[in-house]
Structure 1
Amino acid sequence: MVTSNASWAYRDEFHEAFARTFYRRFGDGLVSSIGVGTYLGEPTDEVDERYHDAITEALATGVNVVDTAINYRCQRSERVVGRALADSDVDRDAVLVSTKGGFVPFDGSRPADPGAYIQSEYVDTGIVDPDELVRGSHCMAPAFLDDQLDRSLANLDLDTIDLYYVHNPETQLAEHDRETVYDRLEAAFERLEERAAAGDIDHYGVASWECFRVPADHESYLSLAEVIARARSAAEAAGNAATHFRAVQLPFNVHMADGFTVESQPAADGPVSTLRLAHEADLDVFTSASILQGDLADGLPEDVDARVAGETSVQRAINFARSAPGVTSSLVGASRTEHVAENVDAGRFEPLGADAFDATFE
């Protein structure tokens, strides 16, 4: 589990190589404002080895945030993260490890008949109730998350996962009304509060794709304020003194800046952006799609590109994402060591200040 002492010691070893605010607060510890993502790539041994080398390189050069999910690459991403952590010379307690549960994962490779696999592995065994399965692939029922968390702990070979996300809960809105989804989230949160009390996770959160960056009348919208309220109720029901709900993850880049620009989250003085509400609620924000799955390597809009520091388009895209107010760390997929070097070097440039960041939207 990431600790204050170990993460501060990690920062002390590397911080002189980076510009200001590269390391940022996470609880009472520090984490790098650039993290490694593990979403892309085929479920093959070759890609596993590339990820292993990329993750160990990132850890050895100043990045101590690694993000994955049980469904990424048929559980292979979690397993290679676990192997890289074990092989790294970096203290495990210096690294923030996050993973996610919600999408039913395959095991090692995509089966010839995915529906039959889910039926035999999850439905027939009683792990998933068919009434709780949406679109044949998404579930956030407490019993399912229990199973998934146990598998993630085994895949990662960890005693404690630092940050466990409920993965894209807005998927449930395809078949259920918003109130039902909030109720299901609260039930999921209560189980995660119990697992936090047991020491299996340190914190939990919600990883989203659309729900926190769309207008309130959008079919995928969820209220972050309501989600926070449900987490507090879950903590109380679990007998915890305070909630372990700690973070949200959402896409953020120059073309998907809705988390900053769309004011659809209810607050005391009227609607605010997700980033604003998260800051006011003392939540950490981790951005995904920070380089739009590689698309921003071809360049940023000229007016933005001219304002953001960095030697390459990728570095400028990363620095735009981590300049957004309230962002703790921007995740960047990296399955090659040369990509890691370029991504890490983005941290040697100053991020945009608040006024300069605002000016990119004028």
Structure 2
Amino acid sequence: MIPGYANFNSTRKYGQKFTLTYRTFSEFVVSPIALGTHLGEMNEIDSDLYREGIQYGLQNGLNFIDTALNYRGMRSERDIGYVLKSLIHDKKILSRESIVVSSKAGIIPGDVMKNLFPKEYLQKVLLEPGIIQGSDLNEVEHQKHVLTPRYYQFAIAQSKQHLNLGTIDIYYVHNPEISMMALGPETFYQNMESVFSTLEDQVQCGNIRYYGLATWTGLLKSPEDNGYISIEEVVNRAKSIAGEGHHFKFIQFPLNKQFTESITFKNQLVQNEFQPLLVAAEKLGLSSTTSAPFQLGKVFKENQDPHECLQEIIQTGGVLSTMVGMKQVKHIKENIMSILPDARN
């Protein structure tokens, strides 16, 4: 395991080598776009592309990587771990303290390297050893989600092993709105409080630094909609566990031409006033990272300018960084060039 975690001085020094405009969280500095690792096939061809792409990105201005336990059947975390070990531990080209890594758990994963689809993984790895019980599964249509502390202890250990990291900088509860739809608000927030207690313990143990929620529509819905999550209530639950010194500091949600709610829709009640999510997050002391800038490929199908879309998003006030799914070096080069300060003129 590679020891350490991102810190302010090392990430700042990293950013000074490049001409990108970096963004500041209290404990570190990050590139305006991050290497997203959700898309792609679960095969060696795409793993080779990801490894090459991640290495290029880390050496050319992108010091933020986003992943999840379930991405590409666990290959994405392993591909990141391969590159981090090579660049940090073996070649000593980069320092661990200059790179920010986020991962997620909550959705039942599969493990393609062990030939386990999610159904088999659930049975053989989670249920039979007693890591979770059948009653812990929250199901909505074909989606299965877990909101129980034991699972997150297990998942964090798995992610650390894949990533070759002693500490993960940001760890998200992944798509919690699935559990909200299955459980209803009262039970959901109670369960979330229990998970947060475990995540605070994980911070104290040095396994993670901060935690948050990575959502799809849960934070963007109307308060009357099934699956809506109140960000103020979530923060209050974190405070009930750890007071003002809690480590719930990040949220993630889609922002693109289709999903504009975080800017335009006053759906989050904060201090007795409804605000758009980005404003609400800032008032609550949270940092916002965004996902799906290209609308899951819809931008390309509609012949929109992806670089113009990306520029528009990173210029949105309150956005710390945008997670961009990219594995090919040529696409990473293009995306870096498109967000350089001169590219806006």
State the TM-score, normalizing by the size of structure 1. Answer: 0.88
Match of 2:90 in 1: none
Question: 1:331 pairs with 323, 331, 337, which one?
Answer: 323
Stretches of structure 1 that go unaligned for 5 or more consecutive residues are 302-312, 353-362
Q: Deviations over 1:225-277 (max 9, x none)?
A: 000001111224xxxx7101110000001111111111111122521011001
User: In structure 1, how many angstroms separate the alpha carbons of the residues matched to 2:342 and 2:283?
Assistant: 25
Amino acid at match of 1:10: Y
Match of 1:128 in 2: 132
Question: 1:165 pairs with 162, 167, 172, which one?
Answer: 172
Match of 1:272 in 2: 275
Q: Deviations over 1:267-300 (max 9, x none)?
A: 2252101100111112111000011122213457
Question: 1:217 pairs with 224, 243, 246, which one?
Answer: 224
Match of 2:259 in 1: 256
Amino acid at match of 1:183: Q
Match of 1:304 in 2: none
User: In structure 1, how many angstroms separate the alpha carbons of the residues matched to 2:116 and 2:132?
Assistant: 21
- 2:290–2:321: 8 Å Cα contact kept in structure 1? yes
Q: Deviations over 1:276-335 (max 9, x none)?
A: 01111121110000111222134577xxxxxxxxxxx12111112112221000110011
Change (3 A) 1:87 1:203: same
Moved more, 152-161 or 24-33: 24-33
Amino acid at match of 2:320: T
Change (3 A) 1:351 1:267: farther
Match of 1:306 in 2: none
Amino acid at match of 2:103: T
Match of 1:356 in 2: none
Change (3 A) 1:269 1:138: closer
User: In structure 2, how many angstroms separate the alpha carbons of the residues matched to 1:127 and 1:251?
Assistant: 31
Question: 2:191 pairs with 170, 184, 187, which one?
Answer: 184
Change (3 A) 1:112 1:207: closer
Relative to its length, the structure with more strand (as a share) is 2
Q: Secondary structure at the match of 1:126?
A: coil
Q: Secondary structure at the match of 1:56?
A: helix
Stretches of structure 2 that go unaligned for 5 or more consecutive residues are 88-92
1:140 is displaced (CA, Å) by 2.0
- 2:67–2:76: 8 Å Cα contact kept in structure 1? yes
Change (3 A) 1:111 1:175: farther
Match of 2:35 in 1: 36
- 2:337–2:343: 8 Å Cα contact kept in structure 1? no
Change (3 A) 1:8 1:143: same
1:132 is displaced (CA, Å) by 1.0
Amino acid at match of 1:94: S
Q: Secondary structure at the match of 1:115?
A: helix
Superposition misfits of 4+ residues, deviation over 4 angstroms: 109-114, 298-301
Question: 2:205 pairs with 198, 201, 204, which one?
Answer: 198
1:298-317 pair list within 5 angstroms: 298=301, 313-317=305-309
1:1-362 pair list within 5 angstroms: 1-14=5-18, 17-18=19-20, 22-88=21-87, 89-108=93-112, 114-135=118-139, 137-236=144-243, 242-298=245-301, 313-349=305-341
Change (3 A) 1:64 1:112: closer
Amino acid at match of 2:227: S
1:351 is displaced (CA, Å) by 9.2
Q: Deviations over 1:192-225 (max 9, x none)?
A: 0001011110100000001111111111201000
1:174 is displaced (CA, Å) by 3.1
Match of 1:308 in 2: none
Calculate percent identity across the aligned residue pairs. Answer: 31
- 1:190–1:234: 8 Å Cα contact kept in structure 2? yes
Amino acid at match of 2:75: R
Q: Secondary structure at the match of 2:249?
A: strand
Amino acid at match of 2:290: T
- 1:254–1:300: 8 Å Cα contact kept in structure 2? no
Change (3 A) 1:295 1:65: same
Q: Deviations over 1:12-55 (max 9, x none)?
A: 111xx23xxx2010123211111110001111111111001111
Amino acid at match of 1:64: N
Moved more, 147-156 or 108-117: 108-117
Q: Secondary structure at the match of 1:266?
A: strand
- 2:111–2:117: 8 Å Cα contact kept in structure 1? no
- 1:71–1:106: 8 Å Cα contact kept in structure 2? yes
Match of 1:307 in 2: none
Amino acid at match of 2:132: V
Moved more, 286-295 or 68-77: 286-295
Moved more, 203-212 or 316-325: 316-325
Q: Secondary structure at the match of 2:339?
A: helix
